[in-house]
Amino acid sequence: MVLVLTHDDCLTHVTPPGHPEQVNRLVAVERGLAGLAVTRQDAPMGEVADVLRCHPASHHDRIKARVPVQGWAQLDADTHLSPGSYLAAMRAVGGICHAVDHVLTTGGRAFAATRPPGHHATRDTAMGFCLFGTVAIGAMRALDLHGLTRVAVLDFDVHHGNGTQDLLWNEPRVRFVSSHQMPLYPGTGHPSERGAHDQITNLPLAEGTGGARMREVWQPVLDDLLTWQPELILISAGFDAHRADPLAGLIWTENDFAWLTGAICDVADECCEGRVVSSLEGGYDLDALADSVAAHVEELARQDA
pTM score over 0.95:
yes
Q: What tens digit of pLDDT does each residue of 3-42 get? A: 999 999 999 999 999 999 999 999 999 999 998 999 999 9
Q: Name the stretches of the chain with pLDDT < 50.
A: 304-305
CATH number at residue 69: 3.40.800.20
Catalytic residue set: 120
Output the pLDDT for position 1: 87
Beta bridge partners of residue 262, listed in sequence order: none
Output the pLDDT for position 305: 41
| Number of domains, the chain | 1
Give the domain extent around 276.
2-304
Alpha-carbon dihedral 124, 128, 129, 135, rounded to 10 degrees:
-60
